Amino acid sequence: MKVELGNTFCLYPMPTVLVGATVNGKANYITIAHLGVLGMSSLAISMAKAHYTNAGIREHRCFSVNIPSAELVAKTDYCGLVSGREVDKGILFETFYGSLQRAPMITECPINMECRLNEIIDFPRHDIFIGEVAATYCDEAVMTDGVVDFAKVRPILFVMNDKSYWKLGERLAKAWDVGKALKKG
Ligand SMILES: Cc1cc2nc3c(=O)[nH]c(=O)nc-3n(C[C@H](O)[C@H](O)[C@H](O)COP(=O)(O)O)c2cc1C
């Protein structure tokens, strides 16, 4: 039997990321779980207009997306609890910069993507920032045979429905492969 849940959003788990931006001349990091994949090199992040970070993304037209590992769960949660308006969140991590120069990235996060801002979609309560990945940086330690190995990355998966962070499970099957068994002929 199906239970109707109204319009409850169920597109979870989502990777929890730390978005970096330069705000008032300083690195600031904000926890974001509502992000979308647009094609192979663009992404959208949905950020409530009230956040401190938005102005920095608008000003410098760039931001970073950092993927924290499970051990950074407390700091990741903290960046989603406090605002850069009151607390200097830049001092929580070691920051580095890439070619865009104004998109602060977190050394402790195994994967970092610096993004150019392409477009802002003006939702009633959110700025939807659409960015294009300019460069991606990855710790060698989380790669296997030259490929990013998410078992080693240990991303923090967010579920809004139970307001919890989850861990990644095991590999289920190979994509574009397991279904071949059902092909006729
Ligand atoms: C797990 C988690 C996920 C979050 N995801 C989002 C999100 O997708 N969009 C958003 O606008 N705020 C999100 N937030 C809230 C912001 O991270 C939070 O309000 C933050 O303190 C704003 O920081 P700032 O004022 O320094 O920009 C999330 C918070 C947590 C804890």
Task: Return the best residue to mutate from 30, 53, 64, 83 for the ligand 1 pocket (most ligand atoms within 8 A of CB).
Answer: 30
Fold (topology level) of 14-182? Pnp Oxidase; Chain A (2.30.110)
| 32 CA to centre of ligand 1 in angstroms | 5
pLDDT above 80 for 115 = yes
30 band by pLDDT with thresholds 50, 70 and 90: very high
Residue 118 has φ and ψ, to the nearest 5°, of: -100, -35
Q: Give CA–CA dist 103/56, Å, rounded.
A: 10
pLDDT above 80 for 13 = yes
Amino acid of residue 7: N
Residue 106 is predicted with a pLDDT of: 98
DSSP at 69? B
pLDDT per position as a tens digit, 124-153: 999 999 999 999 999 999 999 999 999 999
Q: Give CA–CA dist 93/59, Å, rounded.
A: 23
| 72 CA to centre of ligand 1 in angstroms | 16
pLDDT per position as a tens digit, 40-50: 999 999 999 99
120 band by pLDDT with thresholds 50, 70 and 90: very high
Peptide bond between residue 15 and the one before it cis (omega within 30 degrees of 0): no
